[in-house]
């Protein structure tokens, strides 16, 4: 007598190294059996006719906005962020520390984790970054080390952001050394504040400080300079200790193709990089048309740069595809570009965008499995996910590449209620999101009975 599984998902499985037809047997939240056919269950999900089954997507760069101050809950909170992520096919999210009460110590991270657990209803995994600033890099205070049980990684900002989460370039080596003692990875926002400040003064002298072209204020040189400083600091730290650095470093939201050229020489040294949907899809020409609704840090670049970034992505030269989900209200984004906050929401449309990469851009599904699932899991030390194999958590993202959808604000779960992709048609949707063996979304809808509190 064959075993009766809790759930069987059947269709075309996509792992980083292979694509094959199979049935996936799931029990108690884990994958327990994979066979060509013959598996039995109480419930079966048939992912046929143009569908692909991926390991659950992992977004390792999101701003869910909520902390115990609740000052930014009107933009997003853990409940609405959970729904938006599941709608986008994301089963694991890592939340950034730059909230009104920045996540710079264990107590604050614990409070955020408790909030996330109560609001997400156990329908997604939400992990956290620990924020790094000059006051908590002192080895004597142990603030960085104390956070290591609460966070999956750390975040360094090289230019100012919310809550003063910013360290000067001369503090980089010290900060990296403090993180290295935890054996956790670090993500670094690379923009050189000196170059940005200098450009601001130059534009002011010309009377162009309110330029419509936001990329003028934060030029490509700011990113390239900061990346070089990170590499230099890490090299100096390694030389001082007479050993190669053991820390894994991810350069956040690469916006400049030149950054990839620099990093190519350092891939073996533990350096990784991520790219976002908005930097692969939009250019500064779009930003000029949509004004502050396409304002983000780092800003959009030229069309030529976008195409080069996209081509590099297709070749596997970037390691992660992240949302950098940073929601603000329509009212806030409608302000003058000099006053409006930076950032765009991306969780709801992540699966749609992945479908666009596969169908319209010719990105191989195996590469998607790698950059959206496997690579993030390995970087963050989440060995229980990232692949579809026996023993892993039953987190699955099923894309339907035959169903087109036009993005509409009426069909978004993010609390801010808008998308930079509104009005664009994508060649695919998230057919199902499965988290720990539970089907939490079906046919581009998050199951409402699971979210009665919404």
Q: Domain locations in the chain?
A: 4-53+394-451, 56-380
Alpha-carbon distance 98 to 79, whole Å? 18
| Residue bearing tokens 């049935």 | 23
pLDDT of residue 453: 47
Q: How many CB atoms lie within 10 A of CB 18?
A: 10
pLDDT of residue 155: 97
Q: Which of 184, 158, 155, 189 is nearest to 171 (CA)?
A: 158
Measured between alpha carbons, how far is residue 75 from residues 65, 99, 162, 343, 437 in Å?
A: 7, 11, 15, 12, 30
pLDDT of residue 209: 63
Whether 400 contacts 386, CB under 8 Å: no
User: Omega before 298 cis (within 30°)?
Assistant: yes
Instruction: Select 4-53+394-451's CATH number: 2.30.40.10, 2.40.100.10, 3.20.20.70, 2.40.128.90.
Output: 2.30.40.10
Residues 22, 25, 31, 35, CA torsion sign: negative
Whether 284 contacts 300, CB under 8 Å: yes
pLDDT of residue 148: 94
Whether 267 contacts 261, CB under 8 Å: no
pLDDT of residue 211: 67
Which residues are bridge partners to 62 per DSSP?
A: 95, 325
pLDDT less than 70: residues of the chain: 1, 138-141, 208-211, 236-245, 267-269, 451-454
Residues marked active site are found at 324
Common-topology check for domains 4-53+394-451 and 56-380: no
pLDDT of residue 14: 98
- Lookup: tokens for 114: 């408790």
pLDDT of residue 244: 59
Q: What is the CATH number of domain 56-380?
A: 3.20.20.140
pLDDT of residue 135: 79
Reported as a single tens digit per residue, the pLDDT across 329-363 is 999 999 999 899 999 999 999 999 999 999 999 99
Q: How many CB atoms lie within 10 A of CB 316?
A: 13
Reported as a single tens digit per residue, the pLDDT across 209-239 is 666 789 999 999 999 999 999 998 887 665 5
Question: Which one-letter DSSP state was computed for residue 371?
Answer: I
Exposed / middle / buried, residue 443 (Cβ in 10 Å: 0-12, 13-18, 19+): exposed
pLDDT of residue 165: 87
pLDDT of residue 208: 67
């Amino acid at each position: 007598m064959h075993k009766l599984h809790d759930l069987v998902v059947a269709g075309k499985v996509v792992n980083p190294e292979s694509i094959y037809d199979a049935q996936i047997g799931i029990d108690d939240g884990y994958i327990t059996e994979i066979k060509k056919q013959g598996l039995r269950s109480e419930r079966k999900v048939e992912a046929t006719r143009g569908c692909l089954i991926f390991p659950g997507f992992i977004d390792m760069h999101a701003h869910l906005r909520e902390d115990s101050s609740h000052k930014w809950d009107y933009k997003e909170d853990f409940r609405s962020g959970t729904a938006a992520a599941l709608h986008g096919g994301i089963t694991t999210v890592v939340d950034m520390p730059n909230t009104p009460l920045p996540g710079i110590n264990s107590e604050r991270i614990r409070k955020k984790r408790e909030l996330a657990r109560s609001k997400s209803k156990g329908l997604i995994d939400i992990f956290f970054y620990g924020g790094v600033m000059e006051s908590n890099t002192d080895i004597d205070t142990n603030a960085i080390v104390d956070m290591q049980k609460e966070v999956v990684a750390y975040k360094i900002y090289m230019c100012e952001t919310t809550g003063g989460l910013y360290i000067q370039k001369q503090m980089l080596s010290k900060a990296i050394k403090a993180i290295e003692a935890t054996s956790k990875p670090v993500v670094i926002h690379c923009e050189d504040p000196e170059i940005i400040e200098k450009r601001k003064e130059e534009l002011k002298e010309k009377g162009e400080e309110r330029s419509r072209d936001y990329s003028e204020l934060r030029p490509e040189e700011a990113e390239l300079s900061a990346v070089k400083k990170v590499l230099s600091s890490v090299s100096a730290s390694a030389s001082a200790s007479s050993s190669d650095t053991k820390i894994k470093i991810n350069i956040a939201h690469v916006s400049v193709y030149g950054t990839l050229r620099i990093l190519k020489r350092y891939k073996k040294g533990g350096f990784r990089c991520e790219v976002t949907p908005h930097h692969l899809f939009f250019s500064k020409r779009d930003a000029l048309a949509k004004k502050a609704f396409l304002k983000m840090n780092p800003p959009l670049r030229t069309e030529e740069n976008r195409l080069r970034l996209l081509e590099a992505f297709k070749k596997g030269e970037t390691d992660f595809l992240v949302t950098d989900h940073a929601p603000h209200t329509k009212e806030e984004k409608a302000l003058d570009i000099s006053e409006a906050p930076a950032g765009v929401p991306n969780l709801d449309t992540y699966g749609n965008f992945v479908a666009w990469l596969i169908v319209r851009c010719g990105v191989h599904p195996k590469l998607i499995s790698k950059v959206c699932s496997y690579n993030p899991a390995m970087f963050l030390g989440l060995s229980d996910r990232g692949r579809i194999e026996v023993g892993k958590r039953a987190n699955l993202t099923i894309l339907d590449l035959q169903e087109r959808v036009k993005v509409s604000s009426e069909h978004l779960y993010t609390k801010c209620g808008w998308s930079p992709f509104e009005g664009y048609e994508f060649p695919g949707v998230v057919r199902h999101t499965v988290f720990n063996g539970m089907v939490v979304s079906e046919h581009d809808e998050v199951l409402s009975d699971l979210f009665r509190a919404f």
